[in-house]
């Protein structure tokens, strides 16, 4: 396996991208989960799909766009979708969650139209839906690295503001923090991370890499920073084990990564239960 990684560029790309995504997806995921925004990740991933299928369709029908990396239009769609979700949330003040199904169905609807308009890119679409080990290009890797830098700079600079906003929004506003601006930046960064993650885990499973490691971490961590650290450890474990299994068994990495995350979650829940029982017996 190590030989293969050293010899094949595509494997290097997949593993390095995977390891980076294994850090940034759960890192943002902690803030997404505690703010009860898990479903936004799903909505944004479906909008990303609309961007990608749109790009694939365009590159098929307009010859000069054939070289366009679908990731770019995917990213653009995700960022556009994130801004639209925020807009809709303020339109439906008392039913803010309505924004999510509206954007999600718009994403799926557009994707379905683009897929049926074009023909012959079914394998590509499968790769984007469930992830791929073999189709991660150097260019994709550079995009992932760029987005990871943005995410890490963003979280380092605004960590304390995001913590206050997540914990107690009213207090954050009362202390004069620009809550709306920070929230908008946050959701744009989430959109970029989703677009970066889709090559490895696939659109349909991106939100699981954002939420499942956090779900496991929250069972055992005592404190917010500890939750972040555990989430990253579980995210990395899932990505590495998932990619290795996908490589050997020739499976879609999205599937193997998510199933590994679920196994980690089940193990964490069981171990926690056993410990609680032990403590009660003592």
Contacts with another protein by CB under 8 A lie at 34, 36, 157-158, 160-161, 163-164, 166-168, 170-177, 218, 221-227
When the beta carbons of 9 and 168 are compared against another protein, the nearer one is 168
Please give the Cα distance from 130 to 126 (Å, whole number): 6
In the chain, what is the straight-line distance between the N-terminal and C-terminal CA atoms, in Å?
46
When the beta carbons of 124 and 169 are compared against another protein, the nearer one is 169
When the beta carbons of 175 and 275 are compared against another protein, the nearer one is 175
Q: CB of 95: closest distance to another protein in angstroms? A: 17
Please give the Cα distance from 33 to 42 (Å, whole number): 12
Q: CB of 168: closest distance to another protein in angstroms? A: 5
> How many residues does this entry show for the chain?
282
Nearest Cα neighbor of 80 from 113, 56, 46, 53 is 46
Please give the Cα distance from 263 to 243 (Å, whole number): 15
Nearest Cα neighbor of 161 from 141, 144, 176 is 176
Q: CB of 33: closest distance to another protein in angstroms? A: 9
When the beta carbons of 32 and 104 are compared against another protein, the nearer one is 32
Q: CB of 191: closest distance to another protein in angstroms? A: 22
Q: Which string of b and e fits 141-152 if b means at least 16 CB within 10 Å?
A: bebbeebbeebe
Q: CB of 41: closest distance to another protein in angstroms? A: 18
When the beta carbons of 76 and 164 are compared against another protein, the nearer one is 164
Structure-token pair, residue 253: 């990495």
């Amino acid at each position: 396996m190590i030989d293969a990684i050293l010899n094949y560029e595509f494997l290097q790309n997949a593993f390095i991208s995977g390891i980076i995504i294994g850090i940034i997806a759960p890192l943002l995921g902690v803030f997404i989960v505690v703010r009860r925004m898990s479903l936004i990740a799903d909505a944004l991933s479906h909008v990303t799909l609309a961007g990608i299928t749109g790009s694939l369709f365009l590159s098929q029908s307009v010859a000069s766009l054939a070289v366009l990396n679908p990731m770019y239009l995917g990213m653009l769609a995700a960022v556009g979708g994130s801004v639209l979700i925020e807009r809709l949330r303020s339109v439906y003040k008392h039913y803010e969650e309505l924004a999510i199904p509206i954007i999600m169905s718009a994403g799926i609807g557009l994707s379905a139209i683009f897929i049926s308009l074009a023909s012959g890119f079914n394998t590509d679409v499968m790769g984007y839906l469930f992830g791929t080990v073999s189709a991660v290009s150097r260019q994709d890797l550079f995009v992932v690295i760029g987005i990871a830098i943005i995410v890490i700079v963003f979280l380092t600079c605004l960590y304390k503001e995001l913590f206050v906003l997540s914990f107690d929004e009213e207090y954050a506003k009362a202390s004069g923090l620009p809550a709306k601006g920070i929230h908008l930046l946050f959701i744009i960064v989430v959109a970029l991370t989703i677009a970066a993650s889709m090559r490895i885990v696939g659109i349909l499973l991106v939100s699981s890499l954002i939420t499942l490691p956090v779900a496991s971490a929250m069972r055992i961590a005592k404190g917010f920073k500890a939750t972040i650290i555990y989430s990253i450890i579980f995210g990395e474990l899932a990505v590495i084990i998932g990619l290795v299994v996908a490589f050997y068994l020739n499976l879609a990495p999205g599937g193997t990564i998510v199933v590994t995350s679920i196994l980690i979650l089940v193990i964490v829940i069981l171990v926690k239960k056993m410990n609680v029982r032990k403590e009660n017996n003592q």
